[in-house]
Amino acid sequence: DVLLWSERQAELLRRHAAVARSNDAIDWPNVIEQIEDVGRSELRSCRSLLRQALRHMLKAEAWPQSRDAPTWRADAVDFRRQARDALTPSMRQRIDVAGLYADALAALPDTMDGVAPLPVSAVCPVTLNELLAAG
């Protein structure tokens, strides 16, 4: 669990840096920041994959007759699979699926190839577990 590991390591380094001698050549603040960023980066990546999955799911729902709908559905499945692979236990509590859904909804275009979208739910219809489920 990279996120949990990076947070733990950063905390340990903060404690060490607080007691390190003043002639210590290590740039503790930057080392700590870089280690923390490893975990944050993994979390951002997982959120991005979930947002992309939701966006493609929404496009397929809003324009089911589009020639691109099968590709959007396939892409959504792939993004969900990648997110499932990237997810670590400590990320679960930090992923706001409703917020990601709102972002994906806001990113939908007003029309696709000159066609207005069919209505889609304004409220996220899936949980994180459902989104991460196979298929």
| Mean pLDDT, rounded, of the chain | 91
Q: Which pair of structure tokens corresponds to residue 105? A: 């909804």
Shortest CA distance to 118 belongs to which of 42, 78, 58?
58
- The per-residue pLDDT for range 12-53, each reduced to its tens digit, is 888 777 666 555 677 878 888 888 888 889 999 999 999 999
What's the rounded Cα separation, in Å, for the pair 18 and 67?
Answer: 60
pLDDT bracket for residue 129 (50, 70, 90): very high
pLDDT bracket for residue 88 (50, 70, 90): very high
Does residue 7 have a pLDDT over 80?
Answer: yes
CB distance 59 to 11 below 8 Å: no
